Amino acid sequence: MIVFSLSVITTQAQTKADSLRADSIYKSLELQDVVVVQQKSLVKSDIDKLTYDIESDPDSKSNTILEMLRKIPMVTVDGEDNIQVNGSSSFKIYVNNKPNQMMSNNPKEVLKSMPATSIKKIEVITNPGPKYDAEGVGGILNIITHNQGIEGYTATFSGSVSNRGAAGSTYATVKSGKLTMSANYNYQYTDSPRSYSGGSRKTIGNLSESSSDIDNDGWSKVNSKFQYGTIEASYEIDTLRLVSATFDLWGGRSKSNSERSVAATSPLTQSKLYSYHTVGTSKNNYIAIYGSIDYQRSFSVPERLFTLSYRIATEPDKTDAYTNYTDMQAVDGWENFLQRLKNQHNDGDQNTTEHTFQADYTTPFSKIHTLETGVKYILRNNKSEDDRYEQPVNNSSDYTYDQEHSSHYKHRNDIFAAYLGYGLKLEKLSARLGLRYEHTLQDVEYILGRGDDFTKHFNDFVPSASIGYKLAETSNLRLGYDMRIYRPGIWYLNPYIDDTTPTNIRQGNSFLDSEKNHTFSLRYSSFTPKFNINLALLHSFTRNSIESVTKLIPDTQIPGLKNPTGKEVLYTTYENIGHVRGTYLTAYVNWNATKNTRIYMNNRLSYTDMNDGGTLRNHGWDFYAYGGAQQTLPKDWQLSFNFYTFTPSITLQGRSNSYSSYSMGIQKSWLNKRLNLTLSATNFMKKYKNYKSSMEDVYFRSDNWTKSVVQRFSLSISYRIGELKASVRKAERTISNDDVKGGGSSNGSSE
């Protein structure tokens, strides 16, 4: 709060009458103290990024990080929790300026498990410079936790409970001489209510006796546990030398149960062909361990820095799943198709281990110029072991190992990179230019299963440029260009054939190439005590994007499939066939209507044109809108209301569902805001929400639906103790590995 006191100074009257008259006038003009309240801006704009202050938003006391992302400019989250940055679902996630591959691979699963109270702010790096790896079309989400920037001997404890689970966290920091250490721990338990889904697949054109129309419906239920902890330390050798280290441990487990009924009919005669029922259980355990150390050398010249860094990371992921078939019935000619069905036990074990070495140097010269350069080497080993065991249906015999359709696979990446960047900063003009070179050695080895070993080399030159102009003290204009690349991760490359569902078979593609994306952007930002506005116009194109492609083909055309029958099935894999162009207009507006009232919106209008260079093409408009209001009341009470809606988005072979949602919250603070209590409700007038999506090819059309519980009620409480005096210092440059495209979510299709 900023307080201004206004007073009136009098002069002595020449006469008594004048004095009395003056006293009367001044009494009538006497002013009370005027209190001017300036609300803290939640969004800050720089030449290469946007920063959203999560900690200062009251909704963070009860929401998850995923729910808070809906408020952030340049970020959209749809009703199925799919995230896009800069209009792209391909982006990277950092935690405290360091990459988190686990979160990048599974963003919606991890972020909706993390309470927003565990973080301080989120940075959207829209124009990554040459110091960043060339990976990441949409940009980078950098999540800053309370370890970064919180100062002092302090501890915070928080907990929440809802109709979907519970969460708790703690944070503490301590300082002794030149050594400062901090630690935090977070735990989240989620028990999601049962959801329902189903759909249909219709054959169109080229009908034959091997064609079938399929209908399915079923349910699933998931519960999960997620936890993570971080320890950070810094030691100031002297005023110019600093050593900092970080250790992160992330992990979780989930368990799911499902049932599904499938029935097929002939598109020629409309008669029943076959039917069956499935019962599935699955357990997933994942962990991510990161350790890093940085040495930073400063100089007498301000902003001149030299940094040496090392990072080690490992991310094991294990899945244990069972699928059993019952109630199988088939007409003559289709028995052999159902005979392919065997009760299955799938044991999957995947891991990525990497070592990274990096050196960076930055120096100013001639006051207005900055030069930055650096080199980097990454040694990354990906491993995937998928073992299948089979048991005859309605048979109590033990499972037998199916070596033919098991897969053990190794994928090694050696990446060498070097970059050079230049910065210019004048009174009103700032600019950045950069060029990054990356050489990639990719080595693929099949230890067990079908596939031929191969080695590939890639050479990429990645330019970037941005220029900013300060129109006024509170507004600026920025123009930028970025080229970004994507290397396919192991989820895309794994050649394992998943035919657990015989009518919908999936497989990775080991021969994928890196995709390249070009983006041009124009951004305008204006920040005043009343209005906070950020507008952006972007145009991007990719000529070889990695797309999930589904085809209706006879199963005899799938290499390596066990016991093919010649019947038509949906076959999904990944290919470098995407020719994608997109134009996006985004608008973020925050209006402080009064000293206690905040109204905001975050909108995006986009046009997308996608094709495969042949028969597949899809294009159209989509719109996303998020808005809300927050009201501060006397005695530290706060109210908030939020809503969002979006129209169907475009995919290569279909469209997703439109969706809308709303929420309300109330918060009360005590003890000088050390104790906070929050109650919130989401979609409180309706328990379930339906989602729809479609997929189409020249030979089939697939329509799918999901019915999920969207109603949510929660109670959150937090308490802070301690004084603020010290902080963990960190090297200003550190390792950031953002070069791998994470696990892609394939388009849904019916059984």
317, pLDDT greater than 50: yes
In angstroms, the CA 531 to CA 591 distance is 5
479, pLDDT greater than 70: yes
Mean pLDDT of 474-493: 83
- At residue 263, the pLDDT reads 95
Which of 7-16, 190-199, 648-657 is the most confident on average?
190-199
Q: Go through 359-394 and write b for each residue having 16 or more CB atoms within 10 A of its CB, e for each that does not.
A: ebebeeeeeeebebbbebebebbbbbbbbbbbbeee
- At residue 727, the pLDDT reads 47
In angstroms, the CA 77 to CA 656 distance is 13
Which of 41-55, 435-449, 451-465 is the most confident on average?
435-449
- At residue 729, the pLDDT reads 54
172, pLDDT greater than 60: yes
Q: What is the dihedral of CA 593, 596, 597, 598, to 10 degrees?
A: 90
618, pLDDT greater than 80: yes
114, pLDDT greater than 80: no
- At residue 147, the pLDDT reads 53
Mean pLDDT of 184-210: 89
Which of 26-40, 66-80, 361-375 is the most confident on average?
361-375
Q: What is the pLDDT of residues 641-668, one digit of tens each?
A: 999 898 888 888 888 888 889 999 998 8
- At residue 34, the pLDDT reads 39
What three-state secondary structure class fits 78?
A: coil
- At residue 679, the pLDDT reads 92
Nearest one of 386, 411, 516, 537 to 459, comparing CA atoms? 516
Mean pLDDT of 261-267: 94
21, pLDDT greater than 70: no
- Contacts for 672 with CB less than 8 Å, ≥ 6 apart: none
728, pLDDT greater than 70: no
- At residue 722, the pLDDT reads 64
What three-state secondary structure class fits 20?
A: helix
98, pLDDT greater than 50: yes
Nearest one of 462, 542, 540 to 132, comparing CA atoms? 462
| C-alpha radius of gyration, the chain, whole number | 29
For residue 193 the two structure tokens come to 């209510």
More confident residue, 707 or 739: 707
Lowest mean pLDDT among 173-177, 217-221, 654-658: 173-177
More confident residue, 480 or 735: 480
Mean pLDDT of 162-186: 81
346, pLDDT greater than 50: yes
Where does residue 134 rank: exposed (0-12), middle (13-18), buried (19+ CB within 10 A)? Answer: buried
For residue 703 the two structure tokens come to 């329509």
Name residue 45's beta-bridge partners. 50
- At residue 60, the pLDDT reads 81
Rounded to 5 degrees, φ, ψ at 473 are -65, -25
pLDDT band at 26 (very low <50, low <70, confident <90, very high): very low
pLDDT band at 8 (very low <50, low <70, confident <90, very high): very low
In angstroms, the CA 410 to CA 449 distance is 12
pLDDT band at 5 (very low <50, low <70, confident <90, very high): very low
For residue 379 the two structure tokens come to 């040694």
Mean pLDDT of 325-336: 90
Q: Quote the mean pLDDT of the chain.
A: 82
257, pLDDT greater than 70: yes
For residue 662 the two structure tokens come to 């709303």
Percent of the chain with pLDDT over 90: 31
More confident residue, 40 or 667: 667
- At residue 337, the pLDDT reads 84
More confident residue, 731 or 148: 731
pLDDT band at 682 (very low <50, low <70, confident <90, very high): very high
Q: What is the pLDDT of residues 526-564, one digit of tens each?
A: 877 788 888 999 999 988 888 888 888 898 998 878 778
In angstroms, the CA 510 to CA 493 distance is 4
402, pLDDT greater than 50: yes
For residue 132 the two structure tokens come to 């960043």
Lowest mean pLDDT among 153-162, 318-327, 609-618, 736-745: 736-745
CB atoms within 10 A of CB 524: 16
